[in-house]
Amino acid sequence: MRDVKPQIREIEMEIKAYHYTPGPLGLRWLEGIKKGIIMAAKCRKCGNIFIPPKIYCPKCFSEVEDLVELREKPYLASYTIIYRDFNGERLSTPVIVGLVRFKGVDGGLIHYIEGPVEKLAIGASLEPVFRSERRGSITDIEHFRLV
């Protein structure tokens, strides 16, 4: 066998930091989260209500300008329990990650789930728990609590 030790090492990646923009409606949506409100986009043409908000309707392809507040409690559409972290280390406390959906709303959010384990079930009712310090990010929601 030939020696295949790397002759040339190149460790730097192309881009060190990306600046992403949330879009005009996405920005208003994040501002809402900063205030502790979860909203959805609503299409005037076909009535589609969806998250995350975009300036177009994924269903009918027309322009979308409106956000509506979601007042009803979301529910747990599916969940998983994480036992090891990103690097494969065993977690001292397993983490629950859920697919959070709102009735009558297209789309959903992936987020952390906490609360009494006996209530952990698909279909369980949830409520968002916001951080006290918020910056307009999806992580302003600390987790969704089982209720």
Partner 1 sequence: MKMNVYVKKRVAVVGAGLTLFRRRMLETPQELAWIAAKRALDQAGLELKDIDCVVSGSAPDAFDGVHLKGEYYSEGAGAIGKPHLRVYVGGGTGVFVPIAAWWHVASGLCRRVLVVAEEKMSSAADPHPQAVFRHIWDPITEKPLNPNLIWIFALEMHRYMHKCRVSKEDIALVSVKNKRNALDNPYAQAGANITVEDVLKSELLVYPVNRLDISPVSDGAAALVMVSEEWARRLTDTPIWVEGIGYTLDTSYWTNRELSFPVYLKNAAEMAYKMAGIERPMKEIDVAEPYDPFDYKELHHLEGLGLAPRCGAAEMTREGVTQRDGDLPVCPSGGLLGVGNPIAAAGLMKVAEIFWQLRGEAGKRQVKKDAVTGLAQAWGDLMQVGTVVIMRR
Q: In what order do the strands lie in the sheet with 126-130?
A: 75-84, 90-101, 109-114, 141-146, 126-130
Around 20, how many Cα atoms within 13 Å sit in the side-chain half-sphere?
4
Question: Taking Cα atoms as reference points, which of 137, 42, 121 lies closest to residue 113?
Answer: 121
Q: Is 28 an interacting residue with respect to partner 1 (CB under 8 A)?
A: no
Burial-class residue 102 by CB neighbours within 10 Å (0-12, 13-18, 19+): buried
Q: What residue has token string 């279909």?
A: 123
Q: Does 5 bind partner 1 (CB under 8 A)?
A: no
Selection from partner 1, Zn ion, none that 93 binds (CB < 5 to 8 A by kind) is none
Q: Which run of H or E residues covers position 123? A: none
Choosing from 27, 46, 55, 122, the residue that interacts with Zn ion (CB under 5 A) is 46
Shortest gap between Cβ of 19 and partner 1 (angstroms)? 4
For position 61 contacting partner 1 by CB under 8 A, the verdict is: yes
Q: Where does this chain touch partner 1 (CB under 8 A) — which range of 57-65, 106-114, 120-128, 132-140?
A: 57-65
20 touches partner 1 (CB under 8 A) = yes
Rounded distance between C-alpha atoms, residue 123 and residue 121, angstroms: 6
In the list 57, 96, 113, 141, the residue contacting Zn ion (rule: CB under 5 A) is 57
Residue 36 or 58 having the CB closest to Zn ion: 58
Q: Check residue 112 for interaction with partner 1 (CB under 8 A).
A: no
Interface with Zn ion, residue 25, by CB under 5 A: no
Which residues are at the interface with partner 1 (CB under 8 A)?
7-8, 10, 12-24, 26-27, 54-56, 58, 60-63
